[in-house]
Structure 1
Amino acid sequence: MFMITNSASGAAALHRGDAAQDVVYAWLKKHVLTLPRNETTFLTEAQVCRQTGVSRTPVREAFLRLEADGLLRILPKKGAYIAPITEIEVDAIMQARGLVEEWCAQQASRFGASLADELDRLIAQQEQVRSDRVAFIESDRDFHRAIVRAAGNPVLATFYESLRDRQVRMGVHAISVGSRVDEVLAEHRAIAQAIRTSQADEAAAAVGVHLARTLAALRAPTLVDWSPGSRAVV
């Protein structure tokens, strides 16, 4: 069972005078995202209040924000339910990502070096946070978002954001498999290089390879210290 423990960073943020809701939201989000994807957890407002030292109002508001992110479901008068991520959901999300991202990579490749320079910057940023699973996945999201937005279809861009909200917790699992962090960075570089040379088909193919390997990692078992606050990747 997932247990909430005291967070030194969360407490420090509260002392700095940050908005209580933002602190609780960030703290809870990190714990939810590092929860094993096949595990079910139930959190109560009272439990979070005790651990964070804040009142019920900011905790309730943080729960609402996390529900909007698709990371939990609020049960009235009971608390927040965090459901496991099923294999069916994993397959469905990755199939949808493939349809959107391969097409977007083809369209975005027309920007060539200008987009590739931005992607290289995002890869360097991702390299810097490789030891922090949640930060690494957030940087991964920035990389893929840049390609989707460059394609110029706002409907697909909005749809894609909803997919990635649901996939963040999945991604934390994926990069915890073997040497997946190094593989992700190499695959991102291959995508950026294909876009740099404006090779639309090659860019789409590189995205397809990347997503296929990500799906394989999502399906693989992993041995990781999943305890709250752990930042190790093995």
Structure 2
Amino acid sequence: MTRLQDSGHFAIIEPPAEAAQDVVYRWLKQHVLTLPRHEATFVTEAEVCRATGTSRTPVREALLRLESDGLLRIVPKKGAYVAAITEADVESVMQARGLVEDWCVRRAALLGESLAAELDRLVSRQAELEQSPVTFIECDREFHRTIVRSAGNPILADFYETLRDRQLRMGLHAIAASEERIRIVLAEHAAIVEAIRSGDPERAAGSIAVHLTNTLLAMRMPIAAGWVRSAADSRGSRF
């Protein structure tokens, strides 16, 4: 709430309500991210309108944003197509991530403590999100994004963003594949931070390589038995 003084009087100005498009975007993004990885499906405007209680205009705008994020593809007169994620998709994305992150973390290591302190903050925040898979993955993305951006190559940073958009849905299922995966991720992130703090590019590259190798192995694992229930609980009601 903001107070403005005008001729000796205070006026109370309420903050604007969250735009309907943003509400629908957040709801729909979480829905798409928690869909079964190996299933393709269509999402229609009418279905989203009923589920969110909004009109078609904010739904249409939210779908366009998600298409820009690479999470779905709008098909005229049919709806939004959410493709299945294949094993080849997983392999390709992780190979590309390995190339980018190896190059970037070697340069990031030269920043030492200044970068490590920021990464410590992100690891601490991520540790508080164990019960929120979608938010945990978003924080994971911010951790790696911070390293990539610190390398100072904006072209690589932009390319990396497209890779992580593709991996959002993969990553959510990876942390569901094992009860220990969240703990392992946090430990591996802490090791990356300490390697960067040491200022040793080789050590930093090695810590990233271990983390990405284990991430790929987790993505190959079958989904945990309790996944369907936990994913549904995390996103609320479905269509």
Q: Assess same fold via TM > 0.5.
A: yes
Deviation at 1:114, TM superposition (A): 0.8
Distance (Å, rounded) in 1 between the aligned partners of 2:232 and 2:20:
20
Deviation, structure 1 residue 103:
1.0
Q: Residues 21 and 59 of structure 1 are in contact (CA less than 8 Å); yes or no, is this contact kept in structure 2?
A: yes
Whether the 8 Å CA contact 2:176–2:227 is kept in 1: the answer is no
CA contact (8 A) 2:137 2:168 kept: yes
Please tell me the residue identity of whatever aligns with 1:186. Answer: A
Q: Which amino acid aligns with 1:231?
A: S
Alignment of 1:183 with 2:181, yes or no, is: no
Equivalent residues in 2 for 1:1-234 (5 A)? 17-178=17-178, 179-223=180-224, 224-227=226-229, 229-231=232-234
Question: AA paired with 1:193?
Answer: E
Secondary structure at the aligned position of 1:115 is classed as: helix
Q: How many angstroms apart in 2 are the aligned matches of 1:82 and 1:127?
A: 30
SS at match of 1:138: helix
Cα distance in 1 for partners of 2:42, 2:151 equals 39
Which secondary structure state, in structure 2, belongs to the residue aligned with residue 156 of structure 1? helix
Q: Which runs of 4+ in 1 moved over 3 A?
A: none
Alpha-carbon separation, structure 2, partners of 1:218 and 1:229: 20
Structure (1/2) with the larger strand percentage: 2
Aligned residues: 217
Q: Conserved in 1, the CA contact under 8 Å of 2:73 and 2:81? A: yes
Superposed CA deviations along residues 56-107 of structure 1, whole A, max 9, x for unmatched, are 1111111100000010110111111101001111000000000000111101
Cα pair distance change 1:93/1:192, threshold 3 Å: same
Structure 2: state its 5+ residue gaps.
1-15
- SS at 2:23's partner residue? helix
CA distance in 1, matches of 2:36, 2:51: 21
Separation (CA, whole Å) in 1 of partners of 2:149 and 2:166: 18
Deviations 1:127-164 (A, max 9, x none): 01111000000000010011001111111001001100
User: For residues 111 and 190 of structure 1, what CA distance do their matches in structure 2 show?
Assistant: 16
What is the identity, as a one-letter code, of the residue corresponding to 1:128? Answer: E
* Backbone CA RMSD of aligned residues: 1.3
Partners of 1:42 and 1:80 within 8 A in 2: yes
What does the per-residue CA deviation read over 1:42-63, in whole Å, with 9 as the maximum and x for residues that have no partner? 1111111112111111111111
Larger radius of gyration: 2
Partner secondary structure for residue 85 of structure 1: coil
Matched to 2:79, the amino acid is G
What residue ranges of structure 1 are gaps of 5+ in the alignment? 1-15
- In structure 1, what is the Cα distance between the partners aligned to 2:25 and 2:232? 15
Contact 1:133 1:231 in 2 (8 A): yes
1-structure distance, mates of 2:191, 2:51: 44
3-state SS in 2 of match to 1:152 = coil
Q: Does the aligned pair in 2 maintain the 1:38–1:84 contact within 8 Å?
A: yes
2:98 is aligned with what amino acid? G
Distance 1:103 1:67 in 2: 29
Identity %: 60
What's the TM-score once normalised by structure 2's chain length?
Answer: 0.88
Which deviates more, 41-50 or 181-190? Answer: 41-50
